[in-house]
Amino acid sequence: MEMTNSYCVVDLDALRSNYRFVKGLNPDKEAIAIVKADSYGHGAVRCARALYEEGVRYFAVANLDEAEELLDGLNGITVLILGYIDENRFYEVVQYNIICAVYSLEFARLLNEYSMKAGKVTKVHIKVNTGMNRLGFDPLSPGFEDKIREIVSMKGLSVEGIFSHYSTADEEDLSYSQRQRSIFEGAVETLKKAGADLKLIHISNSAAAMIFDCPVSNAFRPGLVLYGYSPLPGRKMQEHLKPVMSVYAHIANIFELRKGESISYGRRYTADSDRRIATVTIGYADGYARALSNRAYVVANGQKAPIRGSVCMDMIMCDITGIDGLRVGDTVMVLGPEVDAALLASLTDTIPYEITCDITKRVKRVYKEDR
């Protein structure tokens, strides 16, 4: 297969393995797979199809465009939009039979009015704010129960679920998560008393799904764990997971850098001895962060080749001194088992999510699976 300057191999067998692991920790709960942001950069439709083959029927995305792409590419699934939907696009919600997150009374009224005029009933999940302070009804506010009763009574809406989101389930101290869980449990009772027929009750993200159960829930939302990274402190349980994404690029040039000469924009690296340098076909336009300049490395012929100088838009320069057998056109590993997203994240003070999400469409996805 002909490859572009840089390409990304997505291992769908690894994805399946990761799903089986986290599902095994939650055997009695429905999985709502998080495939927003194009499955964290891995390719939403292909990843969702692999997970569908494992028995997943519910998927969650961030917006309407993501939902439509998924539903156009895969039959027999149910999609929940976790975030905002413009009222001018309610007709698409009805057309695709999408589940909406309802996190304000105003939104619920607008969606109900549209659904009734269209002669439809729209399925919704109530989003409650238990401490993330981003979206959701406040279960501790005096008017919470009244708002819920009004929504449950709306003829154009069917309240089929309730959910919230932990903000610190990936930290050692779980006391705040325990508080969130307690608030959520109270909110679930409020909805039940209001007459809601709750088919799905979910609060657990990847971290909580691995170590912190919520007994009242009957579903969980695996995200990062599906793509092979543990969000837990110290990367606990990482040995059970397989990173799904690997990124490769080609050597475009090999040259000798003399002692005292510098490399790339800003001359941020000056050789203290004669060095052998390879120019590699990936840069920040491909999602390889400029912050990795002089910090990260690629793997060439099984050996580390440190980045020298600033990451450019389309290229990086790597020190291959002492690595024998390399030629122009050879492939190097930029991201993968020997230089994974957690490592790159640690070098730039970010998280693995950002590393994989940032890999742009310019980097061709190649899907690998045995079946």
The set of catalytic residues is 36, 265
Query: Coil, strand or helix: which one is 163?
Result: strand
Task: Indicate the Cα dihedral angle 355, 356, 358, 361, nearest 10°.
Answer: 150
110 φ/ψ angles, rounded to the nearest 5 degrees: -65, -45
Distance CA 148, CA 133 (A): 19
The residue type found at 110 is: L
The contacts found for 169-177 with CB under 8 angstroms, 24 or more apart, are 169/204, 169/205, 169/207, 169/208, 169/211, 169/212, 170/206, 170/207, 170/231, 170/232, 170/233, 171/233, 172/233, 174/212, 176/131, 177/208, 177/212
Strands 200-202 and 157-163: parallel
The Cα angle at residue 43 between residues 340 and 161, in degrees rounded to 5? 105
Q: 368: helix, coil or strand? A: strand
What is the C-alpha separation between 165 and 34, in angstroms, rounded?
13
**Strands 245-257 and 219-220, bridge-based pairing:** unpaired
Contact (CB, 8 A) for 114 and 90: yes
User: Residue length, the chain?
Assistant: 371
Query: Cα dist. 151→81, 89, 227 in Å?
Result: 18, 20, 36
